[in-house]
Structure 1
Amino acid sequence: MTAGAAGRSVLLLDDEPTIRESLGEYLEDCGIATLQAESGEEALAMDGLEAVAVAVVDIRLGGMDGIEFIKALHALRPDVRFLIHTGSTDFQLDPELRAIGLTECEVIFKPVLDMSVFERAIRQKLAEAGS
């Protein structure tokens, strides 16, 4: 992890190491600090969670799924902004996610061939969070 603006970072939650690590390397090269986790349970228990401003969350995970994770982290940290990164082409936001403030604009479908999509979306979320 590298230091981000005002010590704020981006959590990358994906159980596929190649996706998580390549996105992390790309964002770090863009000057965006990241934390990485392969499960919702790991992410909720990790050091540095208090510095997370944005979480990029895969929906299909072993154990706690991405939707459960978003709801749990939002309960702990309502200031965190979310982006959903999913391979599920039929994914629909449930009413609870909409109540948290997520819209279709926060859903990015795999595969992503242009990683700058993430940089732009994350920088927008960091700006919304005042980071």
Structure 2
Amino acid sequence: MVQNTMAESTTKVLVLDDEPNIRESLAEYLMDCGFVTLTAESAEDALMLSELGSVAVAVVDIRLGGMDGLEFIKRLHTLHPAVRCLIHTGSTDFQLDNELRDIGLTDREVLFKPVLDMGIFETLILEKVAEGRS
């Protein structure tokens, strides 16, 4: 278990998911962990967030109405390369493509729904934040 740190209280996490129950419950869990959370139900809405550049980590669903999560991650990386990403998907056959691997995503950062141990989100977010500082 990763210990909570003061850095979390200013660490912003974006939760991008078109399913309201998943989006809100994950955002609430992350707030309980001490993170500042932003939410969006579509990639288009997320890209318009004024605080997007100050997000440390984005938790992104793949299947979204309109622009999908993969295209969002690629655009986010172009606009704000310091923002790290985690993929949260219900697509059991999902595989990272080379472009996503080049951005820095690994299989460990792909979480398949339903995630039974929510603590993995806190652990991976803290790891991603630490990567961004090194």
Common topology (TM > 0.5):
yes
Q: Aligned equivalents of 2:69 and 2:105: distance in 1?
A: 13
**Is the contact between residue 11 and residue 56 of structure 2 (CA under 8 Å) also seen in structure 1?**
yes
Counterpart of 1:93 in structure 2: which amino acid? L
Segments of structure 2 that go 5 or more residues without pairing to the other structure are 1-6
Q: Who is 2:118 aligned against? A: 115
Q: Aligned equivalents of 1:99 and 1:128: distance in 2?
A: 15
Q: Aligned equivalents of 2:21 and 2:40: distance in 1?
A: 12
The equivalent position to 1:47 in structure 2, one of 32, 46, 50, is 50
Deviation at 1:128, TM superposition (A): 1.2
Q: Who is 1:105 aligned against? A: 108
Q: Aligned equivalents of 1:38 and 1:47: distance in 2?
A: 15
The answer to whether structure 1 residue 58 and structure 2 residue 58 are counterparts is: no
Over aligned residue pairs, what C-alpha RMSD do you find?
1.5
Q: 1:1-131 alignment to 2 at 5 Å?
A: 5=8, 7-130=10-133
How many residues are matched? 128
* Runs of 4+ residues deviating >2 angstroms: 4-8
Identity %: 68
Q: Aligned equivalents of 1:76 and 1:116: distance in 2?
A: 29
Deviation at 1:130, TM superposition (A): 2.0
Q: Aligned equivalents of 1:68 and 1:14: distance in 2?
A: 14
Q: Aligned equivalents of 1:52 and 1:109: distance in 2?
A: 22
Deviation at 1:47, TM superposition (A): 2.0
Deviation at 1:6, TM superposition (A): 7.7
> TM-score, normalising length from structure 1?
0.92
Q: Aligned equivalents of 1:42 and 1:7: distance in 2?
A: 22
For the residue of structure 2 that corresponds to 1:117, the secondary structure is helix
> TM-score, normalising length from structure 2?
0.90
What are the superposed Cα offsets for residues 58-116 of structure 1, whole Å, 9 maximum, x if unpaired? 00000000000000000001111110000000001111111111110110000011111
For the residue of structure 1 that corresponds to 2:86, the secondary structure is strand
